[in-house]
Amino acid sequence: MAERIPHPLISLFPRTGVWFWRLPLLAITALIAIVSFFVWFGLSQERDERRAALVSDSLWMEQNLRYQFESTENQLAQIGNEFGGGGELHSEQAQDKVRALLQGNSGLSALLWLNSEGTMLSTLPASAAPVKLAEDHPIGVLRARTLNRPAYTHPFLQPDGTYAIEVVMPVFGANDFNGYAVGVFSLPRVISSHVPWWFAERYRLSFTDAGGLEIASTTQAGALNDAQAFGVTFERMGGLGIRVNAYRATTRVMPAIVVMVLVGFTLIITWSLWMLRNRVLRLQDTETALRSEHAFRLAMENSTLIGLRARDLQGRITYVNAAFCRMVGWNSDELIGLRPPMPFWPDGESEPARTDRDGLTNTPAVEMRYQRKSGEIFDVLIYEAPLIDADGRHAGWMGSVLDITERKRAEALARDQQEQLEATARLVTMGEMASTLAHELNQPLSAITSYSAGCLNALKAGRYDEKQFTDVLGKINHQGQRAGRIIHRIYGFVRRSESRRERMDVNAAVLEATGLLETETLRRKVRLQIELGMDLPAIMGDRTMIEQVMVNLLRNGMDAMKHTPESQRVLRVTSEAHGDGVRLSVNDHGAGISPEIAGRLFDSFFTTKPEGMGMGLKICRSIAEQHNGRLWFEPGPHGGTTFYLQLPVGEEEVSA
């Protein structure tokens, strides 16, 4: 019996409702979130670090500049003492110092010398054009004098378009106030002298005035990061300040690659998960289809009345259906796994084993007997087809088993009825021939009567001799035997026997049939011409049946010649070896058979005779077929019709 198949897929991959089916999605979402967080975190940390670096770099820069300014102030203070009252330098040495100051990296573009009233005495480097001074130059001078320390003016625009800033240093001689040394710092020069390359690389540095307006800056090109800027204002320097602005950082390659790889992996995982899901859904559809197919097959197997049984190449039973179990009386658990001999084989019988050599073709049906569990024997017909497994391998044989007991019974009944019909037909033939036969019997009987009357008379008269008596008694005996033969023949013809196949001489059957019709031919004035072949093979057959066919054909021939002139009423019977058997023929000189009725001759109850039954030819043909032979007719060579009966030699039956 077919079992229910388990449904593993259904419980593994439900379409809805089970949490762990969502797990991969959750994991991926979490992964994306974590990666995003780390990326964001990394970026913001980097930003903070940059910010901190910017601030400390800016403060360092501010100090550096302040220090530079201060050291220039000190140098100015020293040089101030070298100037004479007329504004000239005392020594060569002092001139070198000034030159070094102006050409070195102090950022000074000019140096002025003022007397204690603030009047300009000399300018270095000496130039044709007067040095442009800051608008608040007098205030600077005043402040320097009042506070006794260096004072800075506001930054101011120079004729060349750049900005500068003045520092006014009060200069003291040995004991008294000497005047002022004024340095003009060119801001672009300060920048180029004091901003190191690494700083300029990273930041744009600019000087701003009191209003925050940019008045000089480093010259590197590059996009600025507006968020990363820092400004410091110098104390006591007329609002001068610096602003440091970071350039936009070029994205760092490694983190970018990491992020890209992570995003790539996430995409791949999501994609493959999606594909997996689709595949599982498809698998589910297939499985659903499979299950409905299975259910369909199960229903089919259980509803069919044909027993189904599969066996593997070793003959072991691998499957039986409900009908098979009902048929044999054992249930599937008892049958599956059994090896030959099977419990449902009657003693001493077995199914032919199948091997690989039988090939993959369906084998011809096998008819055999099975035994039910109850002991009852029944007939089955088995068809087997090769069983191919899912891998295409020949795994065994699937057999359908039909209980044909009923069919066999019906066949036997039909055979029985056919035999009865044939016997009845013979009786009817006899009935029709009764008067002729009576006449035929009458002859020997009346001969016997008259012979015996003559003998009696001779005895009464007392005149007899022994020789005469012996002669007469011999004739009586002969006539008696003749009568006995006639009766025997009739008895043999009408006796209803079960069809019996045996080796038989066809010629003997022909002679028996003609003998039976001897008187009738005389009465109808038909000449019988019998030509029998010599050395015919004996055939397997039922002699009474073959005689019956011949009697029928001969009588039909005689009927057909009713209106034939007496001189031509010849009925020719022949026998000859033909093909793998014997061919008999009956040829008449009657009217022949018209095409209109030729097709219906062998139908039941077809007759053209008023007293006819129309069963003769029908029965003849079925007898021919029972002998695996053939019955047909052709127009005769000299008019009339010839009927042929072809009988094969046939094989000896191995009767059970």
Binding site for ligand ADP (CB under 6 A): 552, 556-557, 560, 588, 590, 593, 601, 606-609, 612-614, 616-618, 641
Please name which of 572, 556, 560 lies closest in space to residue 615, comparing C-alpha atoms: 556
Min. distance of Cβ 556 from ligand ADP in angstroms? Answer: 3
C-beta closer to ligand ADP: residue 464 or 606: 606
Residue type, 356: D
Min. distance of Cβ 560 from ligand ADP in angstroms? Answer: 3
C-beta closer to ligand ADP: residue 404 or 428: 428
Min. distance of Cβ 587 from ligand ADP in angstroms? Answer: 9
Cis peptide preceding 125, ω within 30 of 0: yes
Any idea of the CA torsion for 619, 622, 623, 627, to the nearest 10 degrees? 170
Q: How many CB atoms lie within 10 A of CB 440?
A: 22
Q: DSSP secondary-structure letter at 391?
A: T
Distance from C-alpha of 188 to C-alpha of 651, rounded to nearest angstrom? 133
C-beta closer to ligand ADP: residue 62 or 588: 588
C-beta closer to ligand ADP: residue 504 or 617: 617
Q: Between vectors from CA 433 to CA 431 and to CA 438, what angle results, nearest 5°?
A: 100
Looking at the DSSP bridge assignments, the partners of residue 208 are 214, 241
C-beta closer to ligand ADP: residue 328 or 617: 617
Residue 584 structure tokens? 């008999």
Residue 248 structure tokens? 């936009």
Q: Do residues 177 and 170 make contact, with C-beta atoms less than 8 angstroms apart?
A: yes
Q: Do residues 146 and 138 make contact, with C-beta atoms less than 8 angstroms apart?
A: no
C-beta closer to ligand ADP: residue 343 or 614: 614
From the number of C-beta atoms within 10 Å of its C-beta (0-12, 13-18, 19+), residue 242 rates as buried
Min. distance of Cβ 590 from ligand ADP in angstroms? Answer: 5
C-beta closer to ligand ADP: residue 161 or 610: 610
C-beta closer to ligand ADP: residue 326 or 609: 609
Min. distance of Cβ 607 from ligand ADP in angstroms? Answer: 3
Residue 507 structure tokens? 């010629």
Residue type, 485: R
Min. distance of Cβ 621 from ligand ADP in angstroms? Answer: 9
Contacts of 79 (CB under 8 A, 6+ apart): 94, 97, 98, 101, 111, 181
C-beta closer to ligand ADP: residue 80 or 640: 640
Min. distance of Cβ 527 from ligand ADP in angstroms? Answer: 16
Min. distance of Cβ 563 from ligand ADP in angstroms? Answer: 11
Distance from C-alpha of 502 to C-alpha of 539, rounded to nearest angstrom? 8
C-beta closer to ligand ADP: residue 607 or 626: 607
C-beta closer to ligand ADP: residue 335 or 631: 631
CB-based burial, 291-330: b 16+ in 10 Å, e otherwise:
eeeeeeebeebeeeebbbbbbeeebebbbbbbbbbebbbb
From the number of C-beta atoms within 10 Å of its C-beta (0-12, 13-18, 19+), residue 68 rates as middle
Distance from C-alpha of 12 to C-alpha of 279, rounded to nearest angstrom? 13
Min. distance of Cβ 419 from ligand ADP in angstroms? Answer: 18
Residue nearest to ligand ADP (CB): 616
Largest CA distance in the chain: 229
C-beta closer to ligand ADP: residue 29 or 435: 435
Min. distance of Cβ 591 from ligand ADP in angstroms? Answer: 6
Residue type, 389: D
Handedness of CA 441, 447, 448, 449 (dihedral sign): positive
Sheet hosting strand 241-247, strand order edge to edge:
214-217, 203-208, 241-247, 224-233
Min. distance of Cβ 616 from ligand ADP in angstroms? Answer: 3
Min. distance of Cβ 552 from ligand ADP in angstroms? Answer: 6
Min. distance of Cβ 501 from ligand ADP in angstroms? Answer: 25
C-beta closer to ligand ADP: residue 72 or 575: 575
Looking at the DSSP bridge assignments, the partners of residue 112 are 123, 182
